[in-house]
Amino acid sequence: MVAAMVDIEVRSRVPGTSGDGLPAVLVRLADDRSTVRELIRRAVEEQVRELRADAARCRRVLDRQYLSDDDLRAQAATGAIRMPSQPPADPNVTTEVARAHRAFARGTFVIFVGGRQVVDLDEEVALRLGEPVVFLRLVALVGG
């Protein structure tokens, strides 16, 4: 029996922001099962593809979603957290996928599949057509 291709919608959210985030993307998979690692890879590839026409916006929203805790701590020590000010480079998909894998492993963002949080990059998940996957950026509460 040949497995049918499955398109899964992946939405990325950062609490407290609106509008200029990562676009929802359709991720095409060969099966209705995937590892979290593969799901992240496919989603980041599509996010970069969608945003590539506007390099400045692409860099800004990728940084907002996947900026590491170490980067945040280093910037917080200076008194302000800012997105990088250098001219935006065209994103390297392999680099962005690796950064997203590290961010997930460090707990910078979490993923919900079918309303359930997944916790391991090598965890296999069942994906259902019409049920979006959500990448949720974790942010500290103000004053907390």
Using 50, 70 and 90 to split pLDDT, how confident is the model at 23?
confident
pLDDT digits (tens, 9 = 90+) for 50-103: 877 777 777 777 777 777 667 667 766 776 655 555 555 677 899 999 999 999
* Banded model confidence at residue 129, pLDDT cuts 50, 70, 90: confident
Q: Can you give the residue ranges of every domain in the chain?
A: 6-137
Distance between CA atoms of residues 5 and 7, nearest Å:
7
**Residue 22 pLDDT exceeds 70:** yes
The token pair at 61 is 């929203």
CA distance 24 to 106: 23
Judged on CB neighbours under 10 Å (0-12, 13-18, 19+), 65 is buried
Q: Is 117 helix (H, G, I), strand (E, B) or coil?
A: strand
**Mean pLDDT score of the chain, rounded to an integer?**
81
Share of the chain above pLDDT 90, in %: 37
